[in-house]
Structure 1
Amino acid sequence: MAHTVSLSVYTAQVFPTVSGCNRGYYERAINDFCLAKFKLDMGGLDRGLYCSWTDTMEIYEGLTNCTYQVALRMDCFWPNQIVDRFFMSIHRIYFHDCAVTGRLLQEPPNSILAPFIGVPVLVTLIMTALVVWRSKRTEGVL
């Protein structure tokens, strides 16, 4: 049993180097590239808009994509503990005053929602009318 534990510890220590990921370089890269761009973009926003998902969504998605792209180029797994700590830090600095519900997606506008409701209702009505019309038409044939 002790042999199995030491083998799993050995495997856990070897695995990150096999993947080719240098965690220190990865952490520096996301701080130098991704965080720098994020700070610049967030600096262009009024601080009162930090909790507005519609105003920060594109910037936040850019940050997420940046950490992913850097991970791909550096042969690192994504997401990982470094990314988790990175985003926890981002949230503590930029979004700590935001209510949890303030960051959730909101309902789409009526111009988008109406077709998704109206079209199925219309198709149902048309199909019902078609079935009734077809059944009345075949009554005389039988």
Structure 2
Amino acid sequence: MEMRERRRPQFRLLLLLLLCGGCPPAGGCNETRMLEKLPLCGKAFADMMRTLDAWKRCNLSEFIVYYESFTNCTEVETNVVGCYWPNPLAQGFISGVHRQFFANCTVDRTHWEDPPDEVLIPLIAVPVLLTVAMAGLVVWRSKRPDQLL
């Protein structure tokens, strides 16, 4: 069931491309039309995001379906006017939507720092010394094959 749900947007994208002519027009990218169509995707995404409580807007699992729909919309609209996706203009539009909805979402990152030298030196020295000792034992043992340990 879950796999079928994931394939559905790609199927819709393919279906939309086939319904609107299959391939992008041969005339090339019509950036003006693209910039006229992309705000429709943004408006639909904004309408969907307004249904969420403000505190849920930074939790990806709460709006991932809306965001996938938004992404598919921008891809379809960009391809319909003969442009490739993503492109710098579409990315600029998507970045604007990100700034509008996710500017207050901060990521708490753990600040990593090295342990103190008193801990770090033994953590490095012990494996190195054990490796040297084991190599020495193997060499010593290989020179005396007739004796047991």
Q: Indicate the TM-score class for this superposition, using the shorter chain for normalisation.
A: 0.5 to 0.7
Whichever structure has more helix as a proportion of its residues is 1
Which of structure 1's runs of 4+ aligned residues deviate more than 6 A? none
Q: What residue in structure 1 maps to residue 121 of structure 2?
A: none
Check if 1:23 corresponds to 2:31: yes
Q: Distance in 2 between matches of 1:67 and 1:19?
A: 20
1:42 shift after superposition: 0.6
1:20 shift after superposition: 2.2
Say which of 63, 71, 74 aligns to 1:67.
74
Q: 1:92 to 1:46 in 2, by over 3 A?
A: same
Q: Give TM-score scaled by structure 1 length.
A: 0.55
CA displacement 1:13-68 (0-9 Å, x = unmatched): xxxxx65221011011011x201111110111111111010011111111110000
Q: What residue in structure 1 maps to residue 7 of structure 2?
A: none
Q: Give TM-score scaled by structure 2 length.
A: 0.52
Q: Distance in 2 between matches of 1:101 and 1:30?
A: 32
Calculate the aligned-residue CA RMSD, in Å: 2.0
Q: Distance in 1 between matches of 2:36 and 2:64?
A: 24
The structure number with the bigger radius of gyration is 2
Gaps in structure 2 of 5+ consecutive residues: 1-25, 110-149
1:92 shift after superposition: 1.0
Gaps in structure 1 of 5+ consecutive residues: 1-17, 103-142
Q: SS of the residue aligned with 1:60?
A: helix
Q: Distance in 2 between matches of 1:84 and 1:20?
A: 18
Contact 1:19–1:76 (8 Å) recurs in 2: no
Number of equivalenced pairs: 85
